A = this chain, B = another copy of it.
Amino acid sequence: MCQLLAMNCNTPTDICFSFEGFAQRGGLTDQHTDGWGISFFEESACRSFHDTLPAAQSPIAKLIKDYPIKALNVISHIRQATIGAVELKNTQPYQRELWGQQWVFAHNGDLWDYKFTDSSPARPIGTSDSEAVFCDLLNQLRSLNPTTEPDIHSIYNCLKKFSSQARSFGTFNFLLSNGKYIFAHCSTKLCYIVRQAPFHEAHLSDKDISINFSTVTTEDDRVAVIATEPLTDNEEWTHFEKNQLLLFKHGKVLNFE
């Protein structure tokens, strides 16, 4: 199993505080030691960092904790390998271009006996269930329109239908973004928090570090953080309902259900 982290904001924000706590779970406070990755969006472009070393020991993870890259949308993943060896090709988040946008995907859970449908153009590079399901998902989205992004309701309905089918193979918690918004689907475990004015102090669950967000924000800022388990121990996180698909845009939650 793995753990997921995402951030969706209305103003470019760095993820250093959340990632500091999250990376602890890659070998210190938890046993997700089989690699990690993080993707930062700048509009529809994206840069990703991956390492097969545990996040708690990786020199690249240290860079991410120290170098404040600001973004509206970020997705991160730490891995405890089940299906697929510990290799770069099986290290999430996965990334593909669709409609002239980068699409980034991270999955938590096992989809036992899931088989890639041999569709195209998106095809798996590695051997994980997660990449196979991502390629199928993207090819389904592309079937809505081969060249141009369709309206958000069509995308939502396509993901909803796809998720209900994929769940029959096992656990399907995922995060998906194209740099404009983040879709988050909960099969078993996922939670989120929206931080906005008045901002308060937050304290990490995994490391004795606090930040007073009121000193680093303006009153118009709004930031949603999504994670497998709450990252702070003095704030109230909202747990997703089972099989819920939420859309996060500009730090707000939109629920089409």
Contacts and interface: CB of A to CB of B under 8 A. Distances in A.
Total identical chains: 2
A187 B251 CA distance: 48
Interface string A42-80: 111111111000000001100100110000000000000
Nearest to A42: B88
Given A97-B125, A100-B124, A47 B44 contact: no
Contacts of A43: 87-89
A146 B125 contact: no
A44 B122 contact: no
A215 interface: no
A221 B205 CA distance: 48
Contacts of A66: 59
A45 B126 contact: yes
Contacts of A49: 47, 49
A interface residue count range (under 10 / 10 to 19 / 20 to 34 / 35 or more): 35 or more
Interface in A76-94: 87-89, 91
Query: Residue among A121, A124, A142, A147 with the most chain B CB within 10 A?
Result: A121
A72 B88 CA distance: 14
Interface string A110-127: 000000001011111110
19 contacts: A42-B89, A43-B87, A43-B88, A44-B89, A44-B125, A45-B87, A45-B88, A45-B125, A45-B126, A47-B88, A49-B49, A59-B67, A60-B63, A63-B63, A100-B124, A102-B125, A121-B121, A121-B146, A123-B147
Interface of A: 42-50, 59-60, 63, 66-67, 87-89, 91, 96-102, 118, 120-126, 142, 146-147
Given A45-B88, A99-B123, 5 more contacts: A45-B87, A47-B49, A47-B88, A48-B48, A60-B67
